[in-house]
Amino acid sequence: MDTKNENGLGVHARRVIAYVVLVLVTIMCLFWFYVLFVNATRSNAELNRGFTLIPSSNAGKNLHNIIHGTQPIVSGLLNSLLISACTAVLCTYFSTMTAYAIYAYDFKLKKFMFTMILAIMMIPTQVTALGFLQLIDKMHLMDSRIPLIVPAIASPVTFFYLKQYMDSSLPMELMESARIDGAGEFLIFNKIALPLMRPAIAVQAIFSFVQSWNNYFTPALVLESDSKKTLPILIANLRSADFLKFDMGQVYMFIACSILPVIVVYLFMAKNIVSGMTVGAVKG
């Protein structure tokens, strides 16, 4: 009985410690978002006076100033949404299709192709930037959204995650049964494999969306027209304004508006994200 009590007490104590640590980590993560939204409600003069946790009353003025200011925030928001949404959809769909081909079929050079795709993960974007710009210039795609969407279809990181998920959570027996019943390969992929991969696809969709949403390097090289620029470029332009026109309150409001869509997307997909991060590990 004493041993049971000691074990029970030990489990209870560890659980309390785990909850305390999780609460502290959550507070640390959310604290900076709170500070951001508080600063978005303050004026430039209030921000220069120092730090505070109490919201101010300048949120409406800051929002009005960025909407009617020199930077086209509305078009930037729409451009970022369009590029990020298309990138997330195309990247996850075709990466899933590629992972399915490596997982479900046996063919020559299969291992070589898998290794080659993984090797591409180690090549930084900056290394290929010059050749990429020369290519799209020859194709007359400069100042176009297409070079920001189409290349994102080939994502080795997304492919690798989905391939690992398939190895642990996608039974080949279902595919073989569908083939015996006369189903075509595209039908098997779209009607059987994709629904089973939904949690993993949700995880990679949000990651692809956030990565594209926060991407500054490639859009800054490709986009020239103000009407086509994304939010990260507009924020950088606002931040680089001269001293007399610089308003830190507007910058904070601009940043707050830029991360709200990401938060909304995450909240809508949170359940699938959690299950996608855990199902494969549990079954493995």
C-alpha angle with apex 76: 201 to 93, nearest 5 degrees? 20
Q: pTM higher than 0.95 for the full model?
A: no
User: Where would I find the beta strands (DSSP E) of 46-168?
Assistant: none
- pLDDT value of residue 178: 85
- pLDDT value of residue 169: 81
- pLDDT value of residue 276: 56
Q: Give Cβ neighbours of residue 267 (< 8 Å, ≥ 6 apart).
A: none
* Rounded mean pLDDT, 239-264: 77
Average pLDDT, the chain: 83
60-109: pLDDT as tens digits: 888 888 888 777 888 888 999 999 999 999 999 999 999 998 888 888 88
Give dist(CA 50, CA 214) in Å, integer. 28
Domain 59-283 has what CATH class? mainly alpha
More confident residue, 244 or 23: 23
Res. 1: pLDDT tops 60: no
132-141: pLDDT as tens digits: 889 999 999 9
Q: Which two tokens stand for residue 11?
A: 């489990």
Percent of the chain with pLDDT strictly greater than 90: 14
Contact by Cβ (8 Å): 87, 146: no
Q: Provide the residue ranges of all domains of the chain, joining segments of one domain with +.
A: 2-40, 59-283
- pLDDT value of residue 82: 93
Res. 129: pLDDT tops 90: no
State the amino acid at position 272 in one-letter form.
N
